[in-house]
Each structure stands twice: as structure tokens, then as C-alpha cells.
Amino acid sequence: MRFLAYLRSLGGKFLHSSSLSDEMEEELASHMQHRADDLEGSGLDRAEAERRARIEFGGQQRFKEECHEALGGNLIEGLVNDVRHSLRSLRKSPGFTFAAVATLALAIGANAVVFSVMNAFLLRPLEVPHADSLYALWRSEAGDAHMSYPDYLDLQNRNRTFDGLVAFNMTEAGLTAGDNPTPVWVYETSGNYFDALRLQPYLGHFFHGSDEHGANSAPYAVLTYPTFHTRFHDDPGVIGRTVQINKHPFTIIGVAPPDFHGTILFFSPDLFVPIVDQEQVEGQNLLNARNNRWVFMVMGHPKAGITKAQAVADLNSISTYLAQAYSQDDGKTTLTLARPSLYGDYLGRPVRAFMSALMMLAGLILLAACANLGSLFAARAADRSREVALRLALGSSRRRILRSLFTEAVLISIVGGAVGLLGSVMLLHALSAWQPFPRWPIHLGVNPDANVYILALLLSLVSGFLFGAVPVRQILRTNPYEVVKAGASGVIAGSAGKRLSVRDLLLVVQIAICAVLVTSSLVAVRGLMRSLHNDFGFDSQNTLMVETDLSLANYKAQDVPAMQKRMIEALAAIPGVESVGVADGIPLAEGQGDSNVFTDQTADLRPSNVAADANMYKISPDCLRAAGTVLLAGRSLTWHDDQSAPRVAIVNQEFARRLFGSTEKAVGGYFKMPDGMRIQVVGVVEQGKYGSLTEDPQTAMFLPILQWPSSHTWLVMRSQRDPQQLGPTVRAALHRLDAALPLYVETRYQAMDLVLFGPRMATISLGVLGVMGAILSITGIFGMAAYTVSRRVRELGIRIALGAPRKGVLQAALGRSVKLLAFGSTAGLLLGILASRVLGFIVYQATPRDPLVLAGVVLAMSLLGLLATWIPAQRALRIDPLVLLREE
Amino acid sequence: MTDQAQILPGTLDLLILKAVSLGPLHGYGVLLRIGQISGRALLIEQGALYPALFRLVRQGLLTASWGTSENNRRAKFYELTATGRKRLREETDGWNRLAAAIGSALAAQPEEV
């Protein structure tokens, strides 16, 4: 009951807080009136009596506060009071408040953004039920998850530890729904895909394992929600409708749940079709090819009560059996379980490494911001030492003063955190909506969730207490009598004489952190610059690419070579085009093929005897010349290398070295394909980059496209003309041949977008963090320098009056700041060099031992220092001793 | 002023309860009453009275209501509640015991030890 009454009084107090204050006021006034009445009675006049009564009563405000406390609920009441007081005192120094809030907003915002990305990529599971128990089958030796379809079927049928294994593959197809065919991204999935993933349709129904009755037996399509939304305008009547996928009729039977974006992050499909329809969707049937590992990933939930180890043992017993039963096609394969969302460790490892590094840097930013704010607060507390001393002298407790100080710090941190979070949410929404590659269904779903908000709040509070704690000692040591006697400046002069104050230390720490950030971002930028001007094994300048797939435009296999030749001729006729070639894929772009190759001496062509897994490009004669790839030995391909001619190939240096020992020995030599076909090497080209910028030397072979026809077509054009201007001409020329041809015209760099995405993102994010670090160090140094100057105006004035030279004045005013800056920068640079090793994982050729980077960091930090001390220096030089004297 | 003693910490509440037990009083009246009953021997800081009054009201020992004073001014009058009366008794007993104990302790002579 007592507690209830307390609560009521608390509630009542809140509701009538102001009336309560009025009442208290009235009561105290009444007291003084009564006292004045008595004093008047003893012979004083009224005014004097009232004055005396007020004096006798004592500090009204203090007693009122004590009354409030005595009334209980003083925690909340006191908090409200503290907040009000803090707001008042912050309003009095808008510059300080703005600087503090902005600093913190930057730091918290950066952390929120980095954490959201990490949260979305690493912490948040796939949008399927029980995602935590969903595993992909990972081939340890190969380092990927690819399977052949027959192997998948064996694994699915023979395992006893999984609640169904599902398979899926991603491909592009032309979708016709009443209008012209448009390219869409398709997941070809096993029939049990939706059932085993335990998904429920948003509309209609899904296809099931029971729908599969051999090749092309299940012409059903399930739409993703975004496709349903944008392409079919949320029309429920779409269920049951027949659409054409690569000219084959498919019935739309359902729509997947809105938040389901497929079973690998980043790559969102447009629709799902059964994998047994592969021939209709891709134009080829590999359902029975045990040696072709085209299935992108196989995954499943282990049965309840089955441990990971049991599941792995079960899978490997099947894998061993497969290697024995089909030794021609299946080598020894160790299967493990991996997380599907980032394709096991393939994307997972670099993303994890990078995000952790980024999170660390963002944490450093926050730390630097806290150090920055800490020294601002300490300076402010020193400035207010008079006020603090007065309050202490008037009977306020130190606890009370500390409490208001912390309230101020937390208030700033919360406002800063809110502003930062707001900014980061806007940025994240933009990022989520962003489609970095128009050509690819890649989305970065990084919208913030509750985790992010909680983290931002926690970080705000923690940093508030962190920087709020800096001036605590200062306040606890304040001796009111000394301060009031000496005046504020006297006390500061005393503490400035110390060798190293907390403020100095904080400044050094902050500058060091900022120097680390600046170093890292410079290392990253430099690495990216280098990787862009590296030797790729082709000329990235003056090259224009056109990508198309003739099968999407419904060309029959036998018509493809003729059409490709006509396309080459059409483009070669454009003025300014020097050479044109065709390839089925190009290095450092997506969709390249590869094949095992064997030495000519190998008789037993089983996978374990393989000589190399070579990247495979099917090219037209002029292609290498158009791409700017240098032929080192032998001849290039000709139009005579066709179906009736002996099989030939051009290989790269690594291929020559690995299979033949050297470039010279390779020309004229033979190697074997997995089906036993012998191919003669007629030429060797320079080494290039094929899969990624950071790869070790890879083997590659270039086969005549007339001997290895492919409908997937990259046209490679060499021209000195401006690509912007050439693009439309090229498009027009090709559309004159076939108006329905889907075309992507891009420069060589654009074609490398996917490969460069990682390094670019890394560079951008590190660059942004570097800039933030720079801003923080500017504000930090500026604050310190400006503060020093303002505290020592009198001393500097005297120096000037006594005829000190400008240099001397500057040295006296800013020497300390500059020294701290130099010290912090050196420490930061050294740390940055150590930290850059981490960057080496992500950013190509990121080495801090680069004189340009070192010089850049030194230059950047000096510039920052100059910038930050400029205004205080000007102020110090402009001090007019006469004005000062008058003020005193 | 040298003949007035500072009151011991903790005794202000007791004095207020005693003063109010003799009849409803407003704040200034409490002060006067304490002065009167203590023979003007105790010094109470005027403002310090009010936090104590508010505390006692919150503890349910006093009730307060607005009324008109003998000077014809609006004032808040305090009255003892039943709990307050009980508390006053207890505290008075406690004080008396304490005072007696300290008195006898201070009156001790060497031969009694």
C-alpha cells in the first residue's frame, strides 16, 4: 500500500509538478511574510523587514530543491531537473554543443552503418525458417559447392541424416509474358526445394518433388515477390497464367514469400523453375552428365537429433561410394557442411575479414570521437571551474555537480547518437535500394533492424559516460576557496605547467587513431589505383564489349556461328574500329567456363590424374588482338581452324609452364581434354588475370569458337573512338542484323565491375573512414589549439607588449599542440603500417611500405595540423595588448 | 546568539512533531513554537524547516492543509496524524533513554569505575 501511495504521489507530482512548485513557492513566501510581520512589529519599516526576512530565511532555491527531494521521487524529478539544467547550460554554448553533437553523430553513424552491413551479411541468417540449421554441402578439395546432378540424386536418395537435400542452379533466361522477351534470373531448383526449406507460398502453391517425372516434365514457375510486384503489378490472376521462358510455355503456379530472396545472399532471382526443365531453360540437358558439376549448391537441414559430425560422416560414406562406383567421373571428394548464405568460405572469409577490419576501424573512430569529446569536456569543465566553485561554495554537493555533468554528457551522446542513426538509416536505405550492377540481380539488403538500433543506443550511452568521465577528477579536486580567490585563469595557468595532462594524452591518442585511419585509407586507395593499372593480360583501355546470348533470341545452334560472323563483319565496318573478335566469355568477367586438362601422356583420364583445371575461352581469330593480349610464341587462330580442321588451342604462360615446362616447349605440343580429345597448342599468350585481381597465376586456354560453338557471345572491339559515342553506333549496327537481340554494351572496365566491386567498396568505405578520421583530428587539434590560445591571451598579450617576435608568440601559443600532433601522427603511422597487413587480404597489393603512402600520410597529417591551427594562430598573432590591458 | 545551541542532527523531526502535537501550526508557527517551548535556546535555520516538514508529510506523520493565519494571511497548516502521534511517543521515549544514559555517563565519578 505504501508503495502504491508512493507511486501515486510520484504520478501526482509529475502531473502537478508545476502546481506543486507554485505551492511550495507560496508556502515559503507566506513564511517570509509572517516573519516580516513580526519584524515590522518590532519597529522596522516594511521594506527593510521583508529584506531581513529573506536574508534570515537563507538560500530559497536550495531549500526548494531539498523539499523536492524530501517529497520523494527525486530520482526522476532530479533527472528532469538535471536535464533542464543541462539543456540550459548547453544552450549557452552552442558552438560547443554543435561540435560535440556533430562529432558523435559522425562516429555513431559510422558504427551504425558498418554494423548494419555486418549484421545483414554475417549475423542475419537467410530468410527461411530454421536458417540456423541449414547447411550447404561443401567440397573441401575443390573449395566450392558444385555438384553434378546425378551425384546430387545419389546424395539425396542415399543419405539417412538429412530432412531432404535440395539443389539449385542460377541461370539467365528470356521471359515472355505478353510483351517482348526480357532477360530474367532463374533459380533452377530440385522439386523438393520449397518443401525442404519449409517455406509457405504467398500466393498459389509451390511445385513438389512429386511433380518431377524426368526431363522437362514439370513446366511450372514460381515467382519471387518482387517480380510479382513490379512485373505483374500484384495481380493475383497471374496464378495459372502461362508465360514463355526461352520460348517454352511455363505455368505460373505460385508466389514466394515477400522476404524470401533465394538461398544465397546478394543474388536475388526473379523466378524459380524445376531443375528437371533444364533443357528448356538453358538449351542443354546435363541431368545425366555425372562429370559436369553445374549444380550451383546442394543443401539441407540435418534431421532432428543428428549432429553435424554424424551428417558429415554419412555424406562422406556416400561420397566414397560414388568415387568408387564412378571413378571415371568422380574423384575423391571430402564433403563438409558450410553456411550457404555467403557461399561457404568463398565469399564468407573475405567478407568476414573485411567487415571485422571495418568494424574495428569504426570502433576506433568512435574512440577517437570520445577522446575528442573528452578533451572538449575537460576544457569546458576547466572553463567552468569558477561556476563549479561557486556552486560548491553555495552548498551544492559534488555528487550533484557530477550528476549534472554526466547528464550533459549523456544528453549530448544521445542526441548525437540519434542524429547519427538517422543519417545512417537514410544511407542504409539508399544502399539497400541500390543495384550496383544493372546487369545482375545483386542486392545488398542492409536495412537496419532492432539489433542496429540497440547497438546505436548502447554505443551512445557508453561513449557519453566515457567522455563524461574525463573531467571527473578535475571536479572532485576543485577547491572552491582557491578558485574564487585566484580567478579561473590562475588555476588553469597552474595546471598548464604540468608535463602531460589528461587532455594532452587524449589528444595524442585521438591523433594517433586518426593517423591510423588516414594511413589505411591511403593504402587502400593506392592499392585500388594500382590494381586498376595493373597488367591484366589484356588492354583495358580503348576496348568496348558487347554481351549477348543468341539462345535468348532463339537462334538454333547451327545458325550461331554464321550469325556471330555477321556480327563481327557489321562491327568491323564501323569507321574507327580497328579489330573485332568474339568470345564465349572474357577474363575478369562473369560466366567463364573451365575444364580439366591432362598431359598427352596420361592414359587414365580420371579426375585424380588431372594436370590442371584451366579457364576455357572459345574465341574467334581476331579476339586476342582486339583484346590486346600479346602473343608470345607460335601463331594466332584463323578462320580455317573449324570443325574440319585438327583441334588446336592457344594457351597462356602458366598453362605452358605447368603442362610442358616452358613456353618454347609448348608450341606444337599436345594435351588432352577429359573426353580424351587431343588438342595441339599452336600459340602461347602472356599471363593474365582471369578470376580475380588477387589470384595466383592461373592456367587458361583459348579454343577456336568454330570448333567449340557457343551461343553466349561477347564481342570485343578495339577502337580509339570515345566509347560513349561508339556505343549507340554499335547498338544500331547490331540491331540492324536482328532487332530482338538483347544487348549489353560496356567498356572493358564496366565488364570488370563484378571483379572490382570488392576492392572498390573496400576503398570507398576505407576512404570515408579516413575522411572522418581527418575531420575528427581537425576538430580535435583545433579545439585544443583554440582553447590554449584563449586561456593564455593575457600571457601572450604581455609577450607581444614586451616585443616578442611573431615566431616566438606562435611557438608559445601552439608549440605544444604541434608537438602533440607530431607525436600522435608518428604513433598512428606506425600503427597504421601494422594494421595495413590486415588490408592486404581485401585490397589488392595493399602495402603500406609504399613511399607514396608514407609521404601521403605525413603530408595529410601536416596539412590537417596546419588547417586546424590556422585560426588559433591568427588569433594569437592578432592579440592587441592595449585592448587586453583595458579589459583588465 | 551565543546562548542559542545548534540542534543535534536528527532531532529537528522530533522537535517539529512535538511542536505540532500541541496544535495545528503553519511553518513559521512551528519555528516560533519550538523557540517558545525550548526557551529560545535552540537555533533552527528557517529554510531548513521546510525540507523536514515535507519529509514528515511524505512519511505520513503530518498532514497539511491551507488555511488562514492569525495575521490574516494564507498559510499551510500542519497537523499530527495518528501515526505521527505514535512516532512522537516512541521517539520521545528513545530520546529520554538516550539522554538519561548520556547524563549518567557524564556524571560518572572516578570512585564509581
User: Does A58 sit within 8 Å of B48, measured CB to CB?
Assistant: yes
The Cα–Cα gap between A495 and B28 comes to 49
Given pLDDT bands bounded at 50, 70 and 90, which one contains residue A857?
confident
What is the structure's pLDDT at A384? 76
Looking at the complex, report in whole angstroms how far the Cα of residue A817 sits from the nearest Cα belonging to chain B.
50
Say which range, A611-620, A796-805, B2-11, B55-64, has the weakest mean pLDDT. Answer: B2-11
- Residue A842: name the closest of A361, A371, A380 by CA: A361
Nearest to A482 by CA among A471, A470, A494, A467: A494
CA neighbours closer than 13 Å in the CB half-sphere of residue A339: 18
**pLDDT of residue A494 exceeding 50:** no
Residue A204 has pLDDT above 50, yes or no: yes
Average per-residue pLDDT for chain A: 83
Residue A399 has pLDDT above 90, yes or no: no
Task: Tell me if A365 sits within 8 A of A518, measured CB to CB.
Answer: no
**How far are the Cα atoms of A169, A304, A306 from residue A310, in angstroms, in the given order?**
27, 12, 6
pLDDT digits (tens, 9 = 90+) for A219-233: 999 999 988 998 889
- What integer pLDDT is reported at residue A496 of this predicted model? 45
Residue of A nearest to B78 (CA): A27
Dihedral sign for Cα A402, A404, A410, A413, please. negative
Q: Of B26, B47, B69, which is closest to A63 when you measure between CB atoms? A: B47
B48-64 pLDDT, tens per residue? 888 888 888 888 888 88
Q: Do B73 and A30 touch (CB under 8 A)?
A: yes
Tell me, letter by letter, the H, E, C secondary structure of A310-345. Answer: HHHHHHHHHHHHHHHHCCCCCCCCCEEEECCCCCCH
Quick check: B75 and A27 CB within 8 A? yes
Which span out of A78-82, A178-182, B91-95 was modeled with the highest average pLDDT?
A: B91-95
- Whether residue A688 is predicted with pLDDT greater than 70 in this model: the reply is yes
What percent of chain A has pLDDT above 70?
91
Helix/strand number for chain A, H first, E second:
30, 21
pLDDT tens-place string over residues B88-99: 999 899 889 988
pLDDT at A74 > cutoff 80 = no
Where do the structural domains in chain A lie, given as residue ranges? Answer: 2-72, 77-125+348-497, 131-340, 500-534+758-888, 543-755
- As a whole number, mean pLDDT of residues A411-421 equals 91
**Which residues in chain B have their CB less than 8 angstroms from residue A69's CB?**
51
The dihedral sign for the CA sequence B88, B89, B94, B95: positive
- pLDDT tens digits along B1-52: 345 566 666 788 888 999 999 888 898 888 888 888 888 777 778 888 888 8
Mean pLDDT: which of A342-356, A444-458, A574-588, A845-859 is highest? Answer: A574-588
Closest CA to A839 of A847, A831, A830, A828: A847
Closest Cα to residue A787, out of A814, A765, A769?
A814
Q: What is the mean pLDDT of residues A481-508?
A: 61
Q: Give the pLDDT of residue A846.
A: 59
Rounded Cα–Cα distance for residues A690 and A695 (Å): 8
Write out pLDDT tens, residues A719-764.
Answer: 888 878 888 888 888 888 887 777 888 888 777 777 777 777 777 8
pLDDT for A271-316, tens place per residue? 999 999 988 888 778 888 888 888 999 999 999 889 999 999 999 9
Min Cα distance B28 → chain A (Å) is 5
Strands annotated E in A710-804: 712-719, 744-747
Range with lowest mean pLDDT among A5-19, A105-119, A388-402, A501-515: A5-19
pLDDT of residue B38: 84
Contact A34 B26 (CB under 8 A): yes
What pLDDT does A704 receive?
93
Residue A30 Cα, gap to closest chain B Cα (Å): 6
- Judge: B71–A67 Cβ closer than 8 Å, yes or no: no
Chain A's closest residue to B43, CA to CA, is A56
User: Is the per-residue pLDDT at A486 higher than 70?
Assistant: no
pTM of the model: 0.69
Chain B residues inside the 8 Å CB shell of A40: none
A436-440, A518-522, A633-637: which range is least confident on average? A436-440
Q: Distance (Å, rounded) from C-alpha A608 to C-alpha A105?
A: 58
A739, exposed or middle or buried, with CB in 10 Å at 0-12, 13-18, 19+? Answer: exposed
| Residue A75 distance to chain B (closest CA, Å) | 15
The band of A491, judged by pLDDT with boundaries at 50, 70 and 90, is very low
Whether the predicted pLDDT of A216 surpasses 80:
yes
Between chains, do B28 and A31 touch, taking CB under 8 Å as contact? yes
pLDDT of residue A254: 93
- Measured CB to CB, residues of chain B less than 8 Å from chain A are 26-29, 45-48, 50-52, 54-55, 58, 69, 71, 73-76
DSSP state of A781: H
Most A-contacting residue of B31, B54, B69, B76 (CB-CB within 10 A), to test interface: B54
Average pLDDT over residues A331-360: 82
Residues of chain A with C-beta less than 8 angstroms from the C-beta of B65: none
- Residue A155: the pLDDT is 92
Q: Which residue has the cell 555477321?
A: A566
Strand boundaries in A467-587, DSSP class E:
543-549, 577-583
Half-sphere exposure (Cβ direction) of A735: Cα atoms closer than 13 Å: 12
DSSP tag of B8 = P
**Side-chain half-sphere exposure of A43, counting CA atoms within 13 A:** 0
pLDDT score for A488:
47
Rounded Cα–Cα distance for residues A822 and A814 (Å): 12
The DSSP element (H or E) to which A524 belongs, if any, is helix A502-532
H/E stretch holding A472: helix A472-477
CA distance A400 to A404: 6
Please state which architecture CATH assigns to domain B5-107: Orthogonal Bundle (1.10)
pLDDT for residue A314: 93
C-beta separation of A525 from A763 below 8 A: yes
At A1 the pLDDT is 45
Q: Which residues pair with A447 in a beta bridge?
A: none
> In the predicted model, is pLDDT for residue A80 greater than 60?
yes
Q: Tell me if B73 and A59 make a contact (CB, 8 A cut-off).
A: no
- pLDDT, one tens digit per residue, over A630-663 is 999 999 999 999 888 999 999 999 999 999 988 8
Contact B51 A70 (CB under 8 A): yes
Distance from CA of A880 to the nearest CA of B (A): 49
Phi and psi torsions of A433, nearest 5°: -80, -20
From B47, B71, B76, residue closest to A37, measured CB to CB: B71
Interface test with B, best of A9, A22, A31 (most B CBs within 10 A): A31
Inter-chain residue contact B46 with A66, CB threshold 8 Å? no
Tell me which amino acid residue A612 is: A
Mean pLDDT of A621-637: 90
